Structure 1
Amino acid sequence: MTTPLISSSTVPADETSPQQPAASGPVSPPRKRWTGRSRKDFLVFLMMALPNLALIGTFTYWPLVNNIYYSTLDWTLGSASATVVGLQNYVTFFTSDDASKVLGTTAVFTVVTVGGSMVLGLLVALALNSKVRGTTFARSAVFAPYVLSGVGVGLVWLFIFDPGYGVLAWILRGLGQQSPQWINDPQLSLAMVIIVYVWKNLGYCAVVYLAGLQSLPRDVMEAAALDGANSIRRFFNISVPLLSPTTFFLLITTMLSSLQAFDLIRIMTPLGNGTSTLIYEAYLQAFGAYNRAGYSAAISVTLFAILLVITVLQLRFVERKVHYS
C-alpha cells in the first residue's frame, strides 16, 4: 500500500515549517553592559584626561570667558571700579577711524606673510629635497631662525634696517644711495616687519613641505616620467595635488600664527607706526597711554571671533579640495 504524496501547493500559506521560524523585524543589538573592566578603563581615562582638561579650562577657557565679560565694561586698567556698557566698546571700535586701518593692516600682514612663507617654503623644500652634499647643514640653517627668540630676531633686523647706522644704510651709502626711512614711513614699516616675519617662519614651512615631498609615492612619479611628463608637469599635476594635506595644515597653522604675531611688531615698531594689527592694537589700548582695558578686551574678542570664523571656513570648505589618498 502506497502513501499518497502531499504536494507543497496544498499546504496553507499561513503555516510555517517548524524548521524555519517566522521572519521578524530588525533585531536591535544587545546593549553593552557596564562591566568591571569598563569601569576601570573609564577611571583610567579620567585620571589621564582630567588634569589636562583642568589646565586647559583654567588657563584657556576661563580667561576667554572673563575677557568676553571685560569687553562689556568701561574699565580703566588699574581702577577699582567699572561700569557695564554692554556692546558699546564694540560699537566704538567699529565706528572709529582706526578700525579700517587696523583691520586692513591685519589683512595685508596676514595674507602676505602666509602666502610668502608657504610659497618660498615650498621652493626651499624642493631645493633641500635634492640628494647633494651639505643638505643636512642647509636644512638646519633654514630651520634655525624659526626657533630663535622673536625679540632677538627683531633687535638684529632693526639694526640692519636702521636708516642712520644700520648695515643696509651703510651698504646703500657705499653705492651712493640714501637709505629708505624704514622705521618712520608707515608703509615701509609694515614692509619691514613682513620681510622679517617671512624670513623667520620660512624654515617652518620648508621643513613641513620637505617631509611631505619625501612621503610622495615614488612609483607614481616614475610612472609619470616614463609617460613623458617633464619635471614641471610632474610638479604641478602630481606633487602639488598630493601635497594638499600638507598645504592645508600649513594654511591653518601659519594663518593663526600670523594673526597673533606680536613680538616682532613690538620690538621693531614700538609705537605701531603703520603696523598696528588687531592684537597689537589691543596691547596699545590696554598697556599704552590709554589704559582702556574694556576697549582692549573688545578688540581681543573681535580677533578671537575672526580666528574662529576663519578656522571653521577652512575646515568646512577648503578641506574639500584636500586629497588624502
Structure 2
Amino acid sequence: MTAAATERGTAATPGRRDPQGRGRGIPSHRRGSAWREARPALLFLSPWIVGFVVFTAWPMIYSAYLSLTDYDVINTPEFVGLENYAKLASDEKVLLALGNTALFTLMQVPLYVVVSLLLALLLDRAGRASGFFRTVFFLPKMTPPVAVGVLFLLLFNGQNGLVNTVLGWFGIDGPAWTTDPAWVKPGLVFMSLWTVGASVIILLAALRNVPETLYESARLDGAGFWRSAWSVTLPMISPALFFIIVVNTIAGFQTFDEAYTAFFGAGNTTYSNDAALFYVIYLFQQAFEFLNMGYASALAWLLFAIIMAVTAVQLIVSKRLVYYEGDR
C-alpha cells in the first residue's frame, strides 16, 4: 500500500486524527440529535431570554450610552463624553446620598439578619404551629412598599404615633422619628424589619437541614447549647446567612420606595428630606423630576460599580467564613 493510500485511509477512518493534526468532526446525525434535544430547553427558556434581553441587557447597554450624553428626554441626546462622570465628583448631593445610603445599609443589614435568625430559631421549636407562623411572618412581605411608607408616618409620628405611645407607657420619651435628622434613618431601619419574613423562611429551611447527628456528637463531647450553636449551627447555616447578607446589602443600596413615599412623595416638604435622601431617590429626581437622564444614567452606573465592589469584597471574605458541606 502506498503512502498516499495509507494517508487517505487514515483520514477516512472515524475516531482518528489525520497527519495534519485535525480532529474528526461531529457526525451530522449527532449534531441533529443534539439540536433536537436542545430545542425544548430553548423553548422553555425563551420567555426568560426575551425578557432578559428586552428589560435588562438592552436597557443597561442604552443607559451606558446615555451616561455619555446630555439628554433631557425631549431632545436628541448630545454626546458629551465623560462630562457626567466628572460632574459626579463635584456634586455634594451625591456624597450626601451615598453617605445616607451607606449608613442606612450598615445599620439595617446586621439588625435584619439577627432578627431573622432569632425568629427562625423560634419557629424551629414551634412544632406543628410553625406552618401558621411562617405564613404570618411572610404576609407583610406582600404589603406594597407605598403602604409601608404611609404606615411609617403613622407609627413613628413624634406627636401621636403608636411607637412613641407605647414607649410612653414605660416612661420613655420617644424621639421625633420623622423630623429629627438623627432619628430618620434609625426609624426607617426599624420599619424595614416589617419584611423579614422571607429571610426567616430561608433560615428556617437551613436550620432544618442541619444533620441531627452533628448535635449528638457535640453533646457527647460535652458541648452545651451555646457551644453547639457556635460550632455546629452557625457553620452549617453560613451559606444561607451569607446569601441573606449579600441580598440585603444590595437591597439596602437600592432603598427607595418607603423613604420616598414618607419624605418626598406628593411634594412633601414637612419632614427632614436631606436625612432621608438616599442614592436611588436622588437618581430618580435627576431622571424624572429634573429630566437629566444622561446624568441619572451616570449615577446608575456609579451605583452599579459600588454594588459590584461591595459584593466582590463579601465574596472574598466568605471564603474564610462560609462553610459548605463539600469543603475539605
Please say whether Structure 1 and Structure 2 have the same fold, judged by a TM-score greater than 0.5.
yes
Amino acid at match of 1:159: L
Does structure 2 conserve the Cα–Cα contact (< 8 Å) formed by 1:159 and 1:166?
yes
Deviations 1:75-125 (A, max 9, x none): 33x432443221111211222222322211111112222111111111111
Matched, 1:259 2:253: yes
What is the alpha-carbon distance in structure 2 between the residues aligned to residue 220 and residue 45 of structure 1? 40
User: Which position in structure 2 is the counterpart of 1:49?
Assistant: 45
Percent same amino acid at aligned positions?
Answer: 27
Cα gap change, 1:73 to 1:134, in 2 (>3 Å): same
What is the alpha-carbon distance in structure 2 between the residues aligned to residue 228 and residue 178 of structure 1? 47
Cα gap change, 1:245 to 1:30, in 2 (>3 Å): farther
User: Which position in structure 2 is the counterpart of 1:192?
Assistant: 187
What is the alpha-carbon distance in structure 2 between the residues aligned to residue 69 and residue 177 of structure 1? 54
User: Which position in structure 2 is the counterpart of 1:314?
Assistant: 314
What is the alpha-carbon distance in structure 2 between the residues aligned to residue 56 and residue 282 of structure 1? 23
Cα offset, 1:284, TM superposition: 1.7
Amino acid at match of 1:142: F
User: Which position in structure 1 is the counterpart of 2:323?
Assistant: 323
Work out which of the residue numbers 68, 72, 81 in structure 2 matches 1:72.
68
Cα offset, 1:61, TM superposition: 0.9
**1:209-228 equivalences in 2 (<5 Å):** 209-228=203-222
TM-score of the pair, normalised by structure 2: 0.81
Deviations 1:174-203 (A, max 9, x none): 777765322222221111111111x12322
Amino acid at match of 1:240: L
Work out which of the residue numbers 178, 186, 197 in structure 2 matches 1:183.
178
Q: Structure 1 or 2: larger helix share?
A: 2
Cα offset, 1:287, TM superposition: 2.5
* 167-176 or 244-253, larger mean C-alpha shift: 167-176
Number of residue-to-residue matches in the alignment: 296
Work out which of the residue numbers 242, 258, 281 in structure 2 matches 1:248.
242
What is the alpha-carbon distance in structure 2 between the residues aligned to residue 57 and residue 133 of structure 1? 45
Q: Secondary structure at the match of 2:218?
A: helix
Cα offset, 1:66, TM superposition: 1.2
What is the alpha-carbon distance in structure 2 between the residues aligned to residue 177 and residue 117 of structure 1? 24
TM-score of the pair, normalised by structure 1: 0.82
Cα gap change, 1:287 to 1:181, in 2 (>3 Å): farther
User: Which position in structure 2 is the counterpart of 1:7?
Assistant: none
What is the alpha-carbon distance in structure 2 between the residues aligned to residue 247 and residue 177 of structure 1? 34
Cα gap change, 1:179 to 1:132, in 2 (>3 Å): same
Does structure 2 conserve the Cα–Cα contact (< 8 Å) formed by 1:146 and 1:200?
yes
Deviations 1:268-318 (A, max 9, x none): 221643122221110122223x33222212111111122223334434552
Does structure 2 conserve the Cα–Cα contact (< 8 Å) formed by 1:117 and 1:201?
no
User: Which position in structure 2 is the counterpart of 1:15?
Assistant: none
Does structure 1 conserve the Cα–Cα contact (< 8 Å) formed by 2:94 and 2:279?
no
What is the alpha-carbon distance in structure 2 between the residues aligned to residue 105 and residue 261 of structure 1? 10
Amino acid at match of 1:230: G
* Aligned CA-pair RMSD: 2.6
Cα gap change, 1:33 to 1:118, in 2 (>3 Å): farther
Deviations 1:10-29 (A, max 9, x none): xxxxxxxxxxxxxxxxx999
Cα gap change, 1:49 to 1:293, in 2 (>3 Å): same
User: Which position in structure 2 is the counterpart of 1:8?
Assistant: none
Cα offset, 1:204, TM superposition: 1.9
**1:61-100 equivalences in 2 (<5 Å):** 61-76=57-72, 78-100=73-95
Cα gap change, 1:188 to 1:136, in 2 (>3 Å): same
What is the alpha-carbon distance in structure 1 between the residues aligned to residue 240 and residue 169 of structure 2? 44
User: Which position in structure 1 is the counterpart of 2:111?
Assistant: 116
What is the alpha-carbon distance in structure 2 between the residues aligned to residue 301 and residue 261 of structure 1? 16
Cα gap change, 1:68 to 1:324, in 2 (>3 Å): same
